[in-house]
Amino acid sequence: MGKQRDGFEKATESYFQFHPQEVMEGPVNKKGNPIKIGIPKELNPDEKRCALRPGAVSLLVNNGCEVFVETNTGRHINHSDTEYADAGATIVYSHKEAMEADIVLKISAPTIEEISYMKQNKAIISAIHMRELKRDVLDTINKKKITALGFELIEDNVGGLPLVRAMSEIAGSTVMLIAAEYLSSYNGGKGIILGGITGVPPSKVVILGAGTVAEYAARTAIGMGAEVKVFDNAIYKLRRLKKELGLPHLFTSAFDSTSLTEALSRADIAIGAVHTHGTRTPSIVTEEMVAVMRENSIIIDVCIDQGGCFETSEPTNHRHPVYKKHGVIHYCVPNVASRVSRTATAAISNIFTTILNKLIDEGSVDTMMRRHPWFTKGVYAYRGNITNQALAEKFDLPLKNLDLILAAGI
């Protein structure tokens, strides 16, 4: 494989040596002009995070970029327009101006209106929200030949998902604090404490999945004194989790319906933390299994942005975060990390800054894609083509091989 990739890279580099104009076309300015980066204010009222902090803006400006920040973008993370301006950003007073940059950085998935503001052949990096993405948004992206990347799909150079991991760490820690709120009598809960006290049995937590969200949720729950059970079909993940937590006797199990149903019937809290890369999360807990859970117990489905792993899960938002079904409280907010927007922004900003500095070094988005496959994994639309298999299948659209497109210079 290594030799084949080397040969492929040599072929593509040779092609672009003879087609220099095509290398420089696309979502960046021609060489010699600074790359313009746009940071629009989020239109989603439930999204409080921001793509870049003022410190990151300063680094990018010093590296030769022009950064355009829409006014009041940082209001939810306690950063003023003055701080962004002092960092070297140009403050713009309309959404359209921020969206007209060479590269747009957002948190929420773009709307049709936002895409309509963008210029032809530019680039946008944002969330995809696979479950909620509409066909007309995708059609508008392709019509304008925009290069669109989902930040949750961008890998690092060892195959990890840096932004997903960072948000998962935050979400895992945060969900147990949310659960504690909804256990309280004043929120319609069971009126019990998360954990336990001397002489009183601890609360029982069931976690589905053994990845990053599960690790941080389990760490928080155990630290508060709760009894935790973790389910996952990947035995190596369960083994790793026990090692990471330093708890060789932690209860772990595969997704056996009998064992899982029994655990859920006794649980005070159930956390859905199953992550699938680029596809819909399978429904692991059936409605019948939810029906056996105790009255006013809590389900928090962290993977709702990928479809959710509870059959009874439906997306909610921070303004109306919960609903009841079969007497069970369901919390199914997709962007849990937005509750702690300043912390989440710091993590996102660090990752975006690393990616953008590398992109600046390469000179264009096209060159970045040809030389760094980990970055290319995030591309779901390129110059009118769908390059993500899950999206192609969802909308019954032809899937194009991005490597071949780049090699051909289409």
Q: Catalytic residue positions? A: 129, 305
Distance of CA 288 to the CA centre of its chain: 30
Question: Tokens in use for 300?
Answer: 């928090």
Residue 314 neighbours by CB under 8 Å, 6+ apart: 308, 323, 330, 332
Distance CA 216, CA 143 (A): 42
Scanning 246-388, the segments in alpha helix (DSSP H) are 257-266, 287-291, 341-362, 365-371, 373-376
Q: Which residues pair with 50 in a beta bridge?
A: none
Residue 341 neighbours by CB under 8 Å, 6+ apart: 48, 49, 50, 76, 77
| Among candidate residues 50, 147, 150, the one with its CA nearest the CA of residue 103 | 147
Q: Which residues pair with 123 in a beta bridge?
A: 103, 147
| Exposure on the CB side of residue 86, measured as CA atoms within 13 A | 8
Distance CA 78, CA 72 (A): 10
- Sort strands 269-272 and 322-325 into parallel, antiparallel or unpaired: unpaired
Q: At what angle do helices 341-362 and 54-62 cross, to 10 degrees?
A: 10
Distance CA 302, CA 295 (A): 21
Secondary structure E strands in 232-358: 251-253, 269-272, 298-301, 322-325, 328-331
Distance of CA 408 to the CA centre of its chain: 31
